[in-house]
Amino acid sequence: MLQKPEPFVKPDMIFSVSDASMLLKKVVETAFPEIRIRGELSQITHATSGHLYMTIKDAGAAINAIIWRGTPVNFKLEEGAEVIITGRFTTYPARSNYQVIITSIEMAGVGAILKMLEERKHKLAAEGLFDESRKKPLPRFPQTIGVVTSPTGAAFQDIQNRLRERFPVHVLLYPATVQGATAAEEVAAGIEYFNRMNNVDVIIVARGGGALEDLLPFSEEIVVRAAANSRIPLISGVGHEPDWMLIDFAADVRAPTPTGAAETVVPTKISLIQELDNLSHRLNTAFITHLGNLKRGLANITPKSPKQVLMEQSQRLDDLSHTMDIVIDKKLQYVHQKIELMSRFPMILSNKLITLNQSVQHMGQMLNSLSYKNVLQRGYAIVRDKDNKIISTYSAVPDSIEFADGILNL
């Protein structure tokens, strides 16, 4: 149980506000030179200065905390993450509050890390970053391989040694830290660099084994998205066989180790020689089989005498001649039909003209029968006014009267 400290300030002492604040600051910093606290992160704020401000809390209390710029953080800080912080208590007199200056921070146990990774995995999978349709095939014989890893780590040496043993190729290294606060950004930058330069046939992202916390940069969103968006085929060779990082799901191929990645990307010289021998054997077998078939085909051919060949050609000419006769007869019949039709054309035209003349005469008769002249012949007359309009009323003044044989002007 925590013991209550003895008071050392006398009741009759009077302090200024600044002195009291500084005294409290010294007491707090002296009493808590280092402390480890477990809780949940909230209200994470990234200041322009590079410092991180946050709150660590549990069900009963909350404490302000600060991570100064440059303090290493091995994973991305997220709201709700359960962590263990190590630091020292201090006060901030300007606001009359106390806070923890964090010197290191870690996930609160493997269970918390795995829970965080599982939640992130579901989120990225829902975006389609792990879909099989995005996977690209590896080139059969790459000429240049890009490697994103630490230049001083054992992973790069293992990759180079295995490539030299199996199938020597040109290797380009993008140096990146594989642990710590900047690791994720550097690894993502390496993937993007090779895609931007388009100077390699395949990319290997590699790191040796380590604790789960050390491998977390390879599960950061920035790395997973860079791997999923890579246009160049990408192999993930991070950790050892049991280790699974989120980059493994976004990569085109997952290798259990960096050495396994080198083995995946190139064949061995021995396997190539064996493959060539197999192809040569299959080619020889196919050639011998084809040659045997040709020989059997030649053996089955019965040569024909010149007289037989001549008779067959003569028969073919007779068949062609008969066919030509049939075609010509059909053409002549068609021409005769056309000529006969044309010979009947004048008679058809004459009949058409007679019909037209009869129609014209009939229409003339109809016009005559409808003409008002015929009405005048029957004793009628037309009375018009001075405007030559027909008068039909008694009150109108007539100007002329038209009879069948002439017009009388009044």
pLDDT (tens digit, 9 = 90+) per residue, 349-369?
A: 777 888 888 888 888 777 777
- Averaged pLDDT for residues 382-393: 83
Residue 199's pLDDT is 95
Q: Is the pLDDT of residue 388 over 70?
A: yes
What CA–CA distance (Å, rounded) separates 131 from 135? Answer: 7
391: confidence class by pLDDT, cuts 50, 70, 90: confident
CB 120 within 8 A of CB 112: no
- Averaged pLDDT for residues 244-252: 93
29: confidence class by pLDDT, cuts 50, 70, 90: confident
Residue 192's pLDDT is 97
**Hey, what domains does the chain have and what are their CATH numbers?**
17-107 (2.40.50.140), 143-266 (3.40.50.2300), 379-409 (no CATH)
pLDDT (tens digit, 9 = 90+) per residue, 123-180?
A: 999 999 999 999 999 998 899 999 999 999 899 999 999 998 888 899 999 999 998 8
Q: Is the pLDDT of residue 1 over 60?
A: no
The percent of residues in the chain predicted with pLDDT above 90, rounded, is 32
Query: What integer best gives the mean pLDDT of the chain?
Result: 84
